[in-house]
Amino acid sequence: MDKRSILGFALIMVVVTIWLIFSSVNQQPPPLKDSEKSKESTTFTQKEAEEPKSVDTVIQESSLVSDSLRGKEQFGVFEPFSKGNNELITIENDLVKVVFSKKGATIKGLTLKNYKTWDGKPSQLIWNRGGELYMTFLSKENKKIDTRDLFFTLNNTSGYYRLHGEQILTLTARIDMGRDTSIVKKFRFYGNKYQFDVDVSLNNMDWIIPNRGFNFVWSDGLRYQEKNSVDESGEALAMASINDGIEEIDASGAEPVISSPHGNVDYVAVKTKYFGAAIIPYPESTFEGTVDMVGTMYNAKNSGTVEKYNVSLRIPYKEPQKTQSFRIYIGPLEYDRLNEYGLLEMMNFGWRFLVRPIGQYFMLPIFRFIYGIVGNFGIALILFSLLMKILLHPLSIQQLRSASKMKLLQPEMQKIREKYPDDNSAQQKETMKMYSEYGINPMGGCLPLLLQMPVLYALWAVLRVAIELRQAPFLFWINDLSLPDTVYTLPFVFLGIKHLSGLALAMGVTMFIQQKMTVTDPKQKALVYMMPIMFTLMFSNFPSGLNLYYFMFNLFSIAQQVYINKYSRKRLTLADLRKMPKKEGWLQKKMREAQDIAESRGKSLPSKYTDSQQRKDGKPQQQKPQKKRKK
């Protein structure tokens, strides 16, 4: 192997090693404060998670503590509303179970009925003070009022409601201060939706609240649901659809991330990997104001990370009567449901201008269509990989044919190396001449691969965030296509890898077979062994559904290559290559022009020896390095 090949392989190893280390090293954000530790008493980064208390118990306990701590605090004109008996109302529909609190007139608990956490417990997206919807404002005494500290009066006295289908429940919560002055929050819950509506009305509050208005806030994001908190943090963020664009913040560092865009707001949202919450001003496209987004990352148990996001809308208040309506969506990131609310940007399909359209409008619909026929996501992935292989056939066949042509030229290339063993310049010149003679494009196999990259990346993005694969079993040890299928745990961490994936190992084997079949250049033999090992390590942390796709895709590629090599009706020979029409490729042309320019200037392409300096016995003489002139 020459120096250039060694350098190239070394660079590949360095890049992959850096990627593995970077993807596995946990950044060290500030530790949780005492107040935050209570919020994170239960995390999903450990195998044996603690059994959480019931929502009702936690709310009652937190209310008692809050009342005892705040009993002496002054709320100004709102002090009469800072004390009272908390009442809880449970609203259950076909999809969710909501716990509504009289204190704060807010949602204190929300459990999804059709989804479970990674360890089989009910999926509580909101629990205790993790994820709440409330108001803040400055009173005339310049005191910051948080409506979570105030007790509202409810128009309903029942503690439990069960909704079905098209049924609607309306809850009205009020703080009545006399003289027709009040804060009213009206909630509408539906029997078959993840949505509820909120109307916030300020009546004759202009003598209490300055003109700057109030903030409508969602705090602390959503509670994590997956086993790997680092992986879930990788998809967690806050976002705002504003001025026909998307503004995002990602708390991926030690310092809090803050953004306050201003303009026409369609919605603000927070999300994790598979779930999200969005505040949608209603009617649509009528709200102009400022969005405040703050994100912070914290350490969690077992070297995990948790990201917390607060988003709020600044609502101006100038006239005596002000009502602002919102639709609130809290639920799974399912494509059809998000499309209904105009929230598709919450799904991460990759780069917006190239990769996202491929994943959103092509791959996901086809994948879901196949699943609708076979009813099993594992089988759907296998059929989907076969379909993708067929669709990419025009590109892959060109790549395989180019590899076959290069294989035919290996004996001729070996002759060139033997004829000019110490002259790389002559080798390169003769090789380019041979390529022209046989009509070979040395980069003919690389271009089809590059053209496939956006498609493959779009597929990676779709399968990574598709909630359809979440907790979907397949065969044998593969019980969740959204998680790595671990078959062996290493006794130590190697480049950030602790577990080996069975499907990643299978994919590595098929990649090795492919390399053995296609790589014929002796200088690239190390590539045959290095690439499968590197990709096996990289893919061991990927979802098993993604590895299943690549494994099957490689199997179909091997079958295609075997057919071309052994069962094709017409197998090419060197004579056939000579007879084929010759067309000089762009790269060939540029390489030939570069060589012609170098020779016209009395130079040669880099080599161990120069043609101009000859020994007396006729053998090439080694070139001496020239001394640099002093300026």
463's tokens: 């399968």
Can you tell me whether residue 480 is helix, strand or coil? coil
Is the pLDDT at 266 greater than 90? The verdict is yes
Is the pLDDT at 625 greater than 60? The verdict is no
Is the pLDDT at 495 greater than 90? The verdict is no
Question: What are the backbone dihedrals phi and psi of residue 106, each rounded to the nearest 5 degrees, phi first?
Answer: -140, 170
Instruction: Among 100-114, 415-429, 532-546, name the most confident range.
Output: 100-114
Name the more confident of 258 and 53. 258
Residues in the chain: 631
DSSP output for 402-428: HHHHHHHTHHHHHHHHHHSTT-HHHHH
Asked if residues 354 and 292 have their Cβ atoms less than 8 Å apart, the reply is: no
Average of per-residue pLDDT across 92-107: 93
The percent of residues in the chain predicted with pLDDT above 90, rounded, is 30
120's tokens: 């089989």
**What is the pLDDT, as a whole number, of residue 415?**
80
Average of per-residue pLDDT across 588-597: 61
Instruction: Find the helix packing angle between 393-408 and 377-391, rounded to 10°.
Output: 60
Burial 601-620 (b: 16+ CB within 10 A, else e): eeebbebebbeeeeeeeeeb
**What is the pLDDT, as a whole number, of residue 33?**
44
> Which whole-number Å values give the CA distances from 527 to 5, 417, 506, 535, in the listed order?
10, 20, 18, 12
Q: Which helix (H) or strand (E) holds 61?
A: helix 55-70
Cβ of 156: how many Cβ atoms within 10 Å? 15
Asked if residues 541 and 497 have their Cβ atoms less than 8 Å apart, the reply is: yes
151-208 pLDDT per residue, tens:
999 987 788 999 999 999 999 999 998 888 999 999 999 999 999 999 999 999 888 8
Q: Using H for helix, E for strand and C for coil, what is the string for 564-612?
A: HHHHCCCCCCHHHHHHCCCCCCHHHHHHHHHHHHHHHCCCCCCCCEEEE
Query: Measured between alpha carbons, how far is 230 from 232 in angstroms, rounded to an integer?
Result: 5
235-264 pLDDT per residue, tens:
899 999 999 899 999 988 778 999 999 999
**What is the pLDDT, as a whole number, of residue 616?**
42
390's tokens: 């067929």
Amino acid at 9: F
Asked if residues 187 and 326 have their Cβ atoms less than 8 Å apart, the reply is: no
Domains and CATH numbers, the chain: 30-44+51-347 (2.70.98.90), 365-577 (no CATH)
Asked if residues 27 and 252 have their Cβ atoms less than 8 Å apart, the reply is: yes
Q: Which helix (H) or strand (E) holds 448?
A: helix 446-465
